[in-house]
Chains A and B, each alone.
Chain A
């Protein structure tokens, strides 16, 4: 046989540093038939289920600070509109009216401060004269700090402390059981000025309940437990921070989704025909003779190509050397539209010719000298093998003699007398170098070329097939020639 522990009841006094709105308690009321627990036969352990089996009634109520829970009598009273004359009564009537349909015959109910309930029994305020001080750091809601310790000790020593007599400063709340007669289970008082909270009886745990004996026609026994469900200030702060962060994240995500949804709606620009973008970077020049060099360049394109963006000729800035290197770091882009059907139907590969001319300018007298010319051919539709090119440059010798060339360049400057075309493009009338000019190698020009094509899908797939067909045909032709 197991004896029940003593049913001592004490007040709990706590000091709250955070908002009282975070206060929450849970009351569990159970009906019992004996205060002595009888273990079952051949059972050595008494589990919670076993304990439950000895009770046929259990009610649990979780309430926040100043949360109104109506009793059966109150519900019946306030549901009649005629009874409600005060503002509070009218508010209660509205609440009961709104919550109609959720009728339940609960035993537990509450009185809040506005109800002006004054207990007349032993739990009344007058009895809280010798409170038991509890300082439990594990209790999350209320933590008495060292600063308040002296205050609590003073209260403990004083039998009739003025601290607890000034009832008007306290906001009250009572949790009742709707038994016959109505019985006060818990009284809670809170003083906002210093965060003092008094609860009677104090919180307990499920292993050590408070017993209640109702002596009417028949004797009824109840046990109830008071649990603290309040959030700690840290938890509350973390939750608030988390809430703010979540809201921020939600807003940002929505903005991003909106932005992305806009982007999805925007269609990519599809040209009517084929389009090619040529991106030229003139990186640097190496090993030239005179200083203050700039590069002039020019695209030569077939007439049926249409320039959409960019210019066909331009020049870089003038650059002074650093060692034997002239940095340009210049970018130029050209967007061209073309009839891809026409281009792909042609047997030969279309080529763009890009010519460069490097010119140095005398900073004092402004004399121009050609430092070198070079060119590169860019296929229009076939991919480039590489991006970076180092182009070797050359220039014509003036007067076809190195000596005269030197003096002329030094004193007069090297004015370019002949067109670039005659030196770099395809031979005219099968005559190479019509004027019989002599040339000399000069420096090097480092460039980077990138090419992006956009063809109509049907044409692109067709072009691949055509290329394969061409290869097979060429193979057959070559084989036939070898056999001959």
Chain B
């Protein structure tokens, strides 16, 4: 089996309008992949610091994956939530990106979006009551036919630093982008 070591951190979330942010993250991969060691999902602390619309998390990631094939290359999925004064939280950003396919250091900027209110009443509710809308079926975030029917609003960016180590890929005659 070929192996991938993912070591890094969720550095910060930038350009989010909402205060008190935390990030739920997970790494999704196909059926040929399996986690050998480490956590493939987690949650950062809530950052209250709002200097220049930057929330710093510095949340560590350390994961060891093994694979039997190329299909289902792992994706880094982030869900950004905002906590209000009543300790209620609501999603303010969904986003995902592929784990880079070259070894070494990478800085990922994951652009996020959130569900848009459809009617004016929904907008008012979002502003003053519920805080925001979420998706009932989570798989709609990264799949679905006729996705254009999902209305979203552009949100902020989550920056992730990753160091990748690849093992045994060359043994199975796999060529990456810049090899």
Contacts and interface: CB of A to CB of B under 8 A. Distances in A.
Interface string A316-332: 11111110011111110
B172 A314 contact: no
A339 interface: no
B142 A326 contact: no
B40 interface: no
A314 B147 CA distance: 8
A327 B113 contact: yes
Contact of B36 (A260, A268, A363): A260
Nearest to A315: B148
Interface in A218-266: 256, 259-260, 263-264, 266
A325 B14 CA distance: 14
B68 A267 contact: yes
B141 to A, nearest CB: 9
Contacts of B112: 327, 329
B148 A294 contact: yes
B161 interface: no
A383 B70 contact: no
A279 B29 CA distance: 13
Chain A, interface size category, equals 35 or more
Interface string A283-319: 1100000001010100000000000110000111111
B36 A263 contact: yes
Given A267-B68, A454-B175, A315 B146 contact: yes
A452 interface: yes
Nearest to B67: A268
A84 B165 CA distance: 72
Nearest to B100: A450
Nearest to A451: B177
Contact of B173 (A256, A331, A456): A456
Contacts of A259: 36
Contacts of A189: none
Given A319-B113, A361-B148, A452-B101, A256 B37 contact: yes
B145 to A, nearest CB: 8
B6 interface: no
Contacts of A363: 151
A268 B116 contact: no
Interface stretch (A35-43, A109-117, A125-133, A269-277): A269-277
B82 interface: no
B96 interface: yes
Contacts of A283: 109, 111
Contacts of A329: 94-97, 110-113
Contacts of B147: 294, 314-317, 330
Contacts of A448: 97-98
Contacts of B155: 322, 327
B149 interface: yes
A320 B117 CA distance: 11
B69 A269 contact: yes
Given A281-B98, A319-B153, A383 B179 contact: yes
B71 A320 contact: no
Contacts of A361: 148
A331 to B, nearest CB: 6
B176 interface: yes
Interface of A: 256, 259-260, 263-264, 266-270, 275, 277, 279, 281, 283-284, 292, 294, 296, 308-309, 314-322, 325-331, 333, 335, 359, 361, 363, 383-384, 387, 448, 450-457, 460
6 contacts: A259-B36, A263-B34, A296-B148, A309-B71, A320-B153, A384-B178
